[in-house]
Amino acid sequence: MNESVSLLAAILFPVLSGAVLLLLKKLNDRRKVLIYAGIAMGIAGVLILNALLGKEKEILLFFLTEDIPIVLKLDNMGKWFLAIMSLIWILAGIFSFPYMKHEGKERRYFGFYLITLGAMAGLGCAGNLVTMYAFFEFLTLASFPLVIHNQSREAVMAGLKYLFYSLFGAYMALFGLFFLCRYTDTISFIPGGTLNMELAKGNESVLLLAACLMIVGFSVKAGMFPLHAWLPTAHPVAPAPASALLSGVIVKAGVLAVIRVIFYEFGADFIRGTWVQYVFMTLSLITVFMGSMLAFRENGLKKRLAYSTVSQLSYILFGIALLNPVALTGSLLHVAGHAVIKCALFLCAGAVIFQTGITTVDGLKGIGKKMPVTIWCFTIVSLGLIGIPPTGGFISKWYLAVGALESGIKGFQYAGPIVLLVSALLTAGYLLPVTIKGFFPGTDFDYGETKKCEAGAAMTIPIVILAALSVLIGMFPNTFIEFISAFTAGLM
């Protein structure tokens, strides 16, 4: 299969198969829905793997206007994100098969789940800024039904909040894009940036404003302060596997878009040392601390994990904002580590809810005696999120801290590592109590009522795989670091 067909198939097949599932009312039988969804997911996975293994090639689809082409090109940055997205999507999808019996409306869920995969594939394969923006908006619309799946008033209001914030951020980015296009030779993604410095001369203030609008606008999807409030509202109301997808993958769309804007359009040199860089670093560090503190105070299990996502994503954004190779390596490593860990945490929460109906941290006393495999996996990935070796979270946070210290940016070179360390302590404070309550419930706990109620294999195996991956990333990071370093070298 040539590169053109392979990229198109990776995007179109999941979208069309999802649309067919939504439109074919004959597929009302649960068994038929699961068989169809399973086959479609398997084929989509193979098509995406084929695209990932293909050569880097630019494919012109059509012209949106006379001078705005819609282009596909899967470069190494796109491959990194698409590989992570696909892995999480497949494992959460397997978990969904038994779990969605608990939620119902499976035909609609799997239909939009497949369409969302196509949108994510398109985002990873976007070859220029306008193509990326189109898929960014499509991803918001495709994932919206996953948020409002149970159609309760709380879910609908949370979904509308998600939609409003996401569209508002995207329109901020679009406003910046209008200005940027006037001062570039091309809107294609070119490592190092595409600004025409002769055209930009004398218009630096306007371009910096455009850069700020685009960075903050796209960062809304990643839950950066002050436009973060949608995330802890929307993620907890979605079904657990959809929450895993939202927190592990969909929020990374904002990260990818920010990287494209800074390193492939404006160029790191244009932003380095300006007020835009300082604003970006400040907002990201505020979000790191604020998200950890709110998670520490939250009793609802899924909402606690959602606040954690707010914090952890801004680790990634802070590393990007430092504009140096070491910190960017740490950010891209944390993209993978956080995706694996946060997906595992939400799936663990989903398994607990599915088996016991418990939704609060205070209600988890003795849960480790009832679901030992699930809570051991929860503990392992929690250590990864805290940043304790030999997990992947330690390696990525090490690179972020070293990158901050080496940046030489007055104030931030020390403020960054301090905030990251405080956040790590808070992370331990809001995750480890689940383990402690689960395995050491205290003398007042009635051990006579303890009965094993582990989730089935289809729910447990994805959790175990993710827990193992979180350790393997930390034990064998060099392969990932070498791959990242190879394509980030020219971005600075």
Angle at which helix 325-356 crosses helix 252-259, to 10 degrees, equals: 170
Predicted confidence at residue 210, as pLDDT, reads: 93
Integer Cα distance of 391 and 470 in angstroms: 6
Q: Could you count the other beta carbons within 10 Å of the beta carbon of residue 357?
A: 9
Closest CA to 459 of 85, 96, 104: 96
| Three-class secondary structure of residue 299 per DSSP | coil
Predicted confidence at residue 197, as pLDDT, reads: 84
- Residue 243 included in any domain: no
Predicted confidence at residue 3, as pLDDT, reads: 62
Task: Phi first, then psi: give them for residue 141, nearest 5 degrees.
Answer: -65, -35
Domain count along the chain? 1
Predicted confidence at residue 14, as pLDDT, reads: 93
Predicted confidence at residue 193, as pLDDT, reads: 86
User: 423: which residues sit within 8 A by CB, 6+ positions away?
Assistant: 288, 289, 291, 292, 311, 315
- Residue 434 included in any domain: yes
Look at the pTM and tell me if it is higher than 0.85. yes
Predicted confidence at residue 24, as pLDDT, reads: 81
Predicted confidence at residue 325, as pLDDT, reads: 92
C-alpha count within 13 angstroms, C-beta hemisphere, residue 490 = 10
Predicted confidence at residue 342, as pLDDT, reads: 94
- Residue 245 included in any domain: no
Residues 140 and 170: beta-carbon distance below 8 Å = yes
- Residue 125 included in any domain: no
Please, what is the Cα angle at 124 between 120 and 126, to 5 degrees?
A: 110
Predicted confidence at residue 467, as pLDDT, reads: 94
C-alpha count within 13 angstroms, C-beta hemisphere, residue 156 = 3
Distances (CA, A) of 122 to 52, 72, 113, 117, 336: 13, 8, 14, 9, 19
- Residue 292 included in any domain: yes
Predicted confidence at residue 445, as pLDDT, reads: 66
Closest CA to 320 of 404, 395, 239: 404
Integer Cα distance of 215 and 359 in angstroms: 35
Question: What token pair was written down for 405?
Answer: 């210290």
- Residue 269 included in any domain: no
Q: For residue 69, what is the enclosing H or E element?
A: strand 68-72
Predicted confidence at residue 446, as pLDDT, reads: 64
pLDDT tens track, the chain, 492 positions: 566 677 888 899 999 999 998 888 777 777 888 888 888 888 888 888 888 887 777 888 888 888 888 999 988 999 999 999 999 999 999 999 999 887 888 889 999 999 999 999 999 999 999 999 999 999 999 999 999 988 889 989 999 999 999 999 999 999 999 888 888 888 889 998 888 888 888 888 999 999 999 999 999 999 899 888 898 898 888 898 999 998 889 999 999 999 999 999 999 999 999 999 999 999 999 999 999 999 999 998 999 999 999 999 999 999 999 999 999 999 999 999 999 999 999 999 999 998 888 888 888 888 888 889 999 999 999 999 999 988 888 999 999 999 999 988 988 999 999 999 999 999 999 999 999 988 887 767 666 566 778 888 899 999 999 999 999 998 999 989 999 988 888 787
Distances (CA, A) of 472 to 82, 327, 337, 390, 478: 20, 21, 10, 8, 11
Q: Range of 366's domain?
A: 288-302+318-492
- Residue 170 included in any domain: no
Q: For residue 260, what is the enclosing H or E element?
A: none
- Residue 239 included in any domain: no
